[in-house]
Chain A
Amino acid sequence: MPATRLSDVSTVACIFFIFLVPLAAAGLTLMNVGLGRSRSAGHMMMASLCSLAVAALAYFACGFAWQGFIGSTAHVFNVSGKSWNWIAAEPLFFRKLTFDGSTASLAALFQIFCVGIAALIPLGSGADRWRLRAICLSTALLAALTYPLFAHWVWGGGWLAQLGVNYGIGRGFLDVGGAGSIQALGGLTALGITWILGPRRGKYSADGMAPAIPGHNAVLVLFGCALALVGWIGLNSAGAILFTGGEPSGSALIAINTMLAASISALTGALITKVRFGKPDASLTANGWVGGLVASSASCAFIRPIEAVVIGAVAGAVIIFSVELFELRMEVDDPGGSISVHAVGGIWGILALGMFGQFERPVLNVAGDSVPAAMNAITSNQWLAQLIGVATLLGFVLPLTYGVNRLLNRFTPYRVSVEGERQGMDLHELGAGAYPEFVTHTDEFLPR
């Protein structure tokens, strides 16, 4: 069981890394704004801020109580003599937490930022048509229900983390920096919401064409990528210390792996788009960059740099083709590329840990006094544990998030009216545009 209190060095390092995490949220926000239309830019910024606020409050109210941390009190049921830890049983409103540098208080601090990042991901997919009130309600559901439940299973010593101890399946499901519990969960939520919202008007025409609706500000998008890198280094490093028992000295490897994966992934994206379209595409390169960050998240503490390069290169290629597949074949209108970047990239990251992970130290992801000797072996069924995690994301998280959002959509319609979409979310929902001095392009306001 990880110590209820980290060493002083680990505590300081962990707090430092956690304080970097909001930069990932800032980066994602800028990307979402830049990849949307100019007439919805202010709305997207406002929605991002509201989303972070609602997520933090909902997580404070009940999210942490249901997620808990490794070793916290939890509801458990027994199946064939094995305990299945399925939900934490902490008091609401952080009531049992003492903010004295304990592992639990650091986990709460870390998670209150992480849940905000997960909540920002669907905003990119619902850009230009998702109403602000619906965004807030959907975020509350994510932060209070979906996220805590899955994150407890992974990071709170839940049944996925216990797969190793209970059934000898690797070291249990592992996810250092949240490729599954933050990114894939957010990406799958984005997919469900995109299905509920439907495509933007004019995206798919009757003649079978799907014209590109380009983002309005490449500078914001690319600056967002740079901010996201710093945030991700914090995310991966803090996650390694808190949820796998890593030492701060391992952070150099984690940062290198994170940087390498993002670099090769972005370059792969640039190269593919250059070869296919004649010029490198800025938005797809940015998607590649973040996709590399996402893919590195699960395994960054357990791989060598050369493996990070391989993981990043595959992520870059898969994400570029996935964006095209979703947009053209599946008719999923995802302006920010969130589904490809976060869901596909996250799932690849999870599987990559099973393929490339090397465990030269005990991994402390469950409560208990000792790690079974079998779990220290270099070779194991880690890939099977990772596969079970992916199956849980697809078979539990996706139906749950789609179901609750669809239910909510019946009471609070998610999609803005036709007139509102034509007018732009800024004017329709906020009453003022983000760029009032800009010349308005009349063709954007013509009926389609």
Chain B
Amino acid sequence: MNAVGFLMLVAGWFLVLAAIVLFASPPLRTAFVLAGIAVETLGLILVFRSHLIPREEKR
């Protein structure tokens, strides 16, 4: 889950970069940047969840 989360963070950033380069129209570019941020948010949630401490390891 940790690795997938980080991959999603990077993937979201690449979406943002692609939006800058590929789309000249502001609405389309904005939509893709927001989509990239959404992917990053999902990745961040996954990374946070992967770092929750298992109950048996809490001391």
Contacts and interface: CB of A to CB of B under 8 A. Distances in A.
Interface of A: 79-80, 82, 163, 167, 169, 195, 198-199, 201-202, 204-206, 330-332, 381, 384, 387-388, 390-392, 394-396, 398-399, 402-403, 448
A334 to B, nearest CB: 12
A206 B51 contact: no
B33 A388 contact: yes
Given A384-B30, A391-B16, A79 B21 contact: yes
Given A79-B21, A80-B21, A396-B13, A391 B6 contact: no
B53 A331 contact: yes
A391 B40 CA distance: 8
A331 B16 contact: no
A403 B11 CA distance: 16
Nearest to A402: B6
Nearest to B8: A395
A399 B59 contact: no
Interface string B21-33: 1000010011001
Contact of A330 (B30, B33, B52, B58): B52
A57 B53 CA distance: 37
Given A205-B58, A332-B51, A390-B37, A167 B9 contact: no
A117 B46 CA distance: 30
B33 A399 contact: no
Nearest to A82: B21
A391 B13 contact: yes
B48 A388 contact: no
B39 to A, nearest CB: 9
B51 A399 contact: no
Contacts of A80: 21
Given A205-B58, A381-B30, A391-B33, 20 more contacts: A195-B47, A195-B51, A198-B53, A201-B59, A204-B53, A330-B48, A332-B48, A384-B29, A384-B33, A391-B36, A392-B13, A392-B16, A394-B9, A394-B12, A395-B9, A395-B12, A395-B14, A395-B16, A395-B40, A399-B10
Contacts of A79: 21
Given A394-B40, A394-B44, A388 B20 contact: yes
B13 A204 contact: no
Interface residue tally on B, bucketed by range? 20 to 34
12 contacts: A330-B48, A330-B51, A381-B30, A388-B20, A391-B40, A392-B13, A394-B13, A395-B12, A395-B13, A395-B16, A396-B13, A399-B9
B33 A387 contact: yes
Nearest to B30: A384
Contacts of B34: 387
Contact of B53 (A199, A202, A392): A199
A23 to B, nearest CB: 33
B10 A391 contact: no
A123 B48 CA distance: 20
Nearest to B16: A391
Given A163-B20, A201-B59, A391-B37, A331 B13 contact: no
Given A206-B55, A331-B53, A332-B51, A388 B6 contact: no
A206 B20 CA distance: 47
B6 A399 contact: yes
B10 A331 contact: no
Contacts of B21: 79-80, 82
Contacts of A394: 9, 12-13, 40, 44
Which of A331, A399, A402 has the most chain B CB atoms closer than 10 A to its own CB? A399
Nearest to B12: A395
Contacts of B12: 391, 394-395
Contact of B51 (A163, A331, A391): A331
A387 B51 CA distance: 26
Query: Which 10 pairs show the lowest CB-CB distances between chains A and B?
Result: A395-B13, A391-B16, A206-B58, A204-B58, A394-B40, A399-B6, A395-B9, A195-B51, A330-B48, A395-B12
B9 to A, nearest CB: 5
Contacts of B14: 395
A205 B37 contact: no
A388 B40 CA distance: 12
Nearest to B14: A395
Contacts of B51: 195, 330-332
Contacts of A387: 33-34, 37
Contacts of B11: 395
A108 B22 CA distance: 36
B11 to A, nearest CB: 8
A362 B37 CA distance: 29
A247 B13 CA distance: 35
A163 B17 CA distance: 11
